[in-house]
Amino acid sequence: MPPEAVLPAPAPARLPAAWRAPLVSLAVGLLVLVAVTARAWGAMVHQWWNIDTYSHLLLVPFIIAWLVVLKQRDLAQLAPQPFWPGLVALAGALALWRAGEALGINLVAQAGAVGAVQAAVVTLLGVRASLVLALPLAFAAFLVPFGDEIIPPLQLVTAEIAIALTHASGVAAGIEGIHIQTPAGLFIVAEACSGVKFLIAMVTLGVLVCATRFRRWTTRAAFMAACILVPILANGVRAWATIYVAQFVGAEKATGFDHIVYGWVFFAIVLAVLLGVAWRFVEREPESHGWPLQAIDRWRWVARAEALRLAPTGALLAVVALAGVAAVSTLV
């Protein structure tokens, strides 16, 4: 029996010639924008690295890169055409960043910094390429750490769920705001116990799953609702379990055990159950996310928008000029 023929390994994909200069321009433009808004980016990286609530955001750049790679075949069929109206969005994003810096509001400054990068991509790569990259571009919004604003209401909701379950389990308890008094001691639903970390991570994951695995909006809405409600309810159950166990082992032991279990086990179990249920309703493969090229070709407004093109060199110079104006405005 003759040996099986050994097929040659496929040649590595080459970067299409039409993309080489635009990608260089994009890299230069993004470097300039990040340099100008470096303070906001530095604050974001600090929050990702040092604040547990936002540690999951360290994965977002890698997720964005993965989403872009999934669309490389579609992108290879396109030739980037700079889109001058994108400069309007870039100017608005830089103005937002500048306002946030002037007012000392990190969330606003960071949103402007990320928005400037998104607008630069649209400007330098054009409408059609940006539509193909719509999901990774939109997902970049999750680079901005947010959620501190909802911690107080989450504390109250957690306390209410915990006290209701505590009463239902036959433990005498009283509540005042986020303070729960029981025979085993006083329990406080602190900021770290609000469940905001779990909730934000689940919402981020939910958006990714909805965009890459589901087609129907009803399925997406149901899954996103679960990604919001399940973490809130689960956190209330966790708080109640801590209070209940404390009645037998003491508050100190129960609290220490709670942090370990919730940090490593409880979150993983809830996440696995939620994804396991969602898996039964998967409707497509990740690489089919977004709009296919055939659909984009049928949109007449795309052709009209592409008429508003700009020379590649002029587009890059305009991006750099706007970044320069923003930088100078900080010195005034």
Q: How far apart are CA 309 and CA 172, in angstroms?
A: 70
Please give the single-letter amino acid code of residue 267. F
Q: Which of 68, 89, 181, 86 is nearest to 135 (CA)?
A: 68
Q: Who's near 317: CB < 8 A, 6+ residues apart? A: none
Angle at 229 between CA 225 and CA 231, to 5 degrees: 125
Across 57-61, 72-76, 184-188, least confident range: 184-188
- Helical segments of 9-85, H only: 17-36, 38-50, 60-70, 72-76
Using H for helix, E for strand and C for coil, what is the string for 214-269? CCCHHHHHHHHHHHHHHHHHHHHHHHHHHHHHHHHHCHHHHHHHHHHHHHHHHHHH
Cα torsion 241, 247, 251, 256: sign: negative
CB 195 within 8 Å of CB 264: no
Phi, psi of 174, rounded to the nearest 5 degrees = -125, 155
Burial degree of 218 (CB within 10 A; 0-12, 13-18, 19+): exposed
Checking if the pLDDT of 38 tops 70, the result is yes
The per-residue pLDDT for range 152-184, each reduced to its tens digit, is: 999 999 999 999 999 999 888 899 989 989 888
| Residue 3 pLDDT | 43
Checking if the pLDDT of 91 tops 90, the result is yes
- Residue 181 in tokens: 């008094």
The per-residue pLDDT for range 216-256, each reduced to its tens digit, is: 999 999 999 999 999 999 989 888 888 888 887 776 666 66
Phi, psi of 119, rounded to the nearest 5 degrees = -65, -35
If phi over 0 gives left and psi between -120 and 50 gives alpha, with beta otherwise, what is residue 104? left
Checking if the pLDDT of 11 tops 80, the result is no
pTM of the predicted model as reported, rounded to 2 decimal places: 0.88
Residue with tokens 């009803």: 218
182: helix, strand or coil: strand
DSSP letter at 144 equals: S
Q: Which of 195, 201, 202, 197 is nearest to 159 (CA)?
A: 195
DSSP letter at 330 equals: T
187: helix, strand or coil: strand
Highest-scoring range by mean pLDDT, 93-97, 212-216, 275-279: 93-97
| Residue 238 pLDDT | 86
